[in-house]
Amino acid sequence: MSMALTSYIIPKIIVISYKKKLFDVVDSRKVHVGSVPRLGGVAFTPTIIITFCLMAGVHVVSGPIEGVSLLSYAPLVALYLCSLVILYLEGIADDLVGVGYKPKFAVMFFVSMLVVWSGTYLHDFQGIFFLHRILPLVGALLSMVLIVFVINAINMIDGVDGLASGVSMLAFFFFFVFFAYRRDVFFASLALVSLGMLIPFWVFNVFGKVERQRKIFMGDTGAQTVGLLLSLLAMRLAMARPDTEGWFSCPLMVAMTLLLVPCFDVVRVFCWRIRHRRNPFLPDKQHIHHKLMAVGMSGRTTMMIIIAVEAFYILLNLSMLTVADVNIVLLTDVVSYAVLHIVLSYIIRRKESMTAGQSAVGSNNV
């Protein structure tokens, strides 16, 4: 249902965007050329709302599903919808006229407060950093920060066609599998609806041609909506009761794994900006997709490599959690990701030095 809705809405948005000249502004950080609409994310929140309203209607008409009480989710759904709509409106304003990062963060923290108010927040570190139960106030405040962090992580990695949506589709798929494994019908449905919502957009974003007026970006509206949905699912999965052994012995680590690449990328970029005395909230070209393209990769190859790296970490961590302590798994992730960037930086420096040397030789010959 969500796939059909997005497939119908996005072409309409493209037509309106071209008629009203609502395009993404090309600047030094952007890798695309030409006029491309950036309002693809406008389709996301209405799709989620319509799909779940229809599902609720079917639930009422056809009778309850065994083991599923719709009313038990009502307060949760009400606060989730409020948070989605508020962030949706802020995203549209940002895509149309621009919003400063301070008001954006204020809205994000308010939205995260609504999510925490619904009872969706961390209660237990499950052995990560050798910590377990935490105070409710600490868990609530930390969860607010993490929700804002994930929203921005998805927004910041949205720099190459199909990248943010591709990584998110992979995460939504595994969230669906894990919630289905836990027999949590509501959140499995949310993950599946979100996956279906993104597939048509990904096709338009990756394969749409600018000259045929079929290409579109998700914009801040879409990236923030997807980031919020992922943070909701990650938080709920992290709250699940751990298995005594096996890959689900630490649900928090499983949830972190599904968002590992975008989250690690933001942490690394923020650390780099602070170390170089730059504003950590102002954009630059230090993200992993910028590095891969600096090495010489095309946009599409960059997208496929990063999605493959995320898939590798998912399989690696799920395998390691069956045999190793969660802190060893986390340390392995951090070290391997750091090594990846060290190698990329070395290749970039070597390529730049070779280019500079060739330029110097050319100048001397002249």
Task: Report the distance separating Cα 114 and Cα 366, nearest Å.
Answer: 66
The answer on pLDDT for 309 being more than 80 is yes
- Cβ(201)–Cβ(43) below 8 Å: yes
Predicted confidence at residue 365, as pLDDT, reads 57
- Cβ(122)–Cβ(235) below 8 Å: yes
Task: Report the distance separating Cα 38 and Cα 263, nearest Å.
Answer: 23
Q: Who has greater pLDDT, 354 or 13?
A: 13
261-281 pLDDT, tens digit per residue, is: 999 999 999 888 888 888 877
Burial of 198 (0-12, 13-18, 19+ CB in 10 A): buried
Q: What are phi and psi of 331, to 5 degrees?
A: -65, -40
Burial 300-319 (b: 16+ CB within 10 A, else e): eebbebbbebbeebbebbbe
Task: Report the distance separating Cα 169 and Cα 123, nearest Å.
Answer: 27
Please provide the average confidence, as pLDDT, over all residues in the chain: 88
Per-residue confidence at 53, pLDDT binned at 50, 70, 90?
confident
Task: Report the distance separating Cα 229 and Cα 41, nearest Å.
Answer: 13
Lowest mean pLDDT among 5-14, 44-53, 269-278, 306-315: 269-278
